[in-house]
Copies of this chain bind each other. A is one copy, B any other.
Amino acid sequence: MSNTYQIYLISDSTGETLDRVFLAIKAQFKNIKYDVKSYFFTRTENQVSKIMDEAKKNDNAIILYTIVDTSLAKFLANKGDEKKIPCFSVLGNLIMNFSKLLNQKASHVPSGQHALNEEYYERIEAIQFTMAHDDGNLVEDVDKADLILLGVSRTSKTPTSIYLANRGYKTLNIPLVNEQSIPESLKKNPKLSCVVGLTTEPQRLVDIRKNRMNALKEKENTNYTNINKIEKEINEAKKTFIKYKWPTIDVTRKSVEETAASIIKIYEINKNNG
């Protein structure tokens, strides 16, 4: 019996919920070998049967599913029993419990979260805004942004902005070279929008820049990789953040998602105080 698990993710919609949940589960187990097969838009017994037949060919199949149609979910669970494949419903119990609590029947219609509603269009708008306001572009729009990220180089401003856009925040990011990098309107009114400063440890920045120079096969640019200069650059940035009372996050050893979560926290606090 092979000890590589075959994980089948079966969703009746786009599979994002399932993806996230499996990511969280697998992070709990260090030493498992597995392959993942994802099935989206699974909405008929015929589709389910085919997947289960396929899964049965493996010794180590495990099925995780998000199927909100009750009879299709039951069909899958029965097939699993029959074929002795462990099957786990990700949403079933939660929806049932919520239904009791809210004293309301669930719709059991898939893809409800993908309605083309206001929330959806706001999110798309946030992505478009953020794309157009990356890396110091159109800084005159600071008053239109939900979030403004100011950061020294290599603090993951761009991916963090994109991640925040995906969560619905119109984000504008500005590379901070010196105080002149900051638009006048923001200096005059530092609370114009929610501003967050991003910094990093100087040594990490030196390492990244050296790697970058090597990758580009460039001759060493001393200003760009000199630890003293970099320390000065980062200290200047920190002073600027203090001067304008902008909260800062040190991104060293943080993932983009973790940095973004801290930024959203700051945004929420600002909103509740403002």
User: Could you list which residues of chain A lie within 8 angstroms of chain B, going by C-beta atoms?
Assistant: 5, 13-17, 19-21, 23-32, 38, 40-41, 62, 64, 66, 68, 86, 88, 90-91, 93-95, 97-99, 101-102, 104, 106-109, 111-116, 120, 124, 127-128, 131, 134, 156, 158-159, 162-163, 165-167, 253, 255-258, 260-262, 264-265, 268
CB distance from A32 to the nearest CB of B (A): 6
> Are B23's CB and A113's CB within 8 A?
yes
Q: Complex formed: what's the CA distance from A191 to B261 in Å?
A: 40
Number of copies: 2
Question: From A11, which residue of chain B is reached at the shortest CB distance?
Answer: B261
CB distance from A123 to the nearest CB of B (A): 8
Q: Complex formed: what's the CA distance from A66 to B97 in Å?
A: 17
> Are A128's CB and B258's CB within 8 A?
no
CB distance from A170 to the nearest CB of B (A): 13
> Are A25's CB and B91's CB within 8 A?
yes
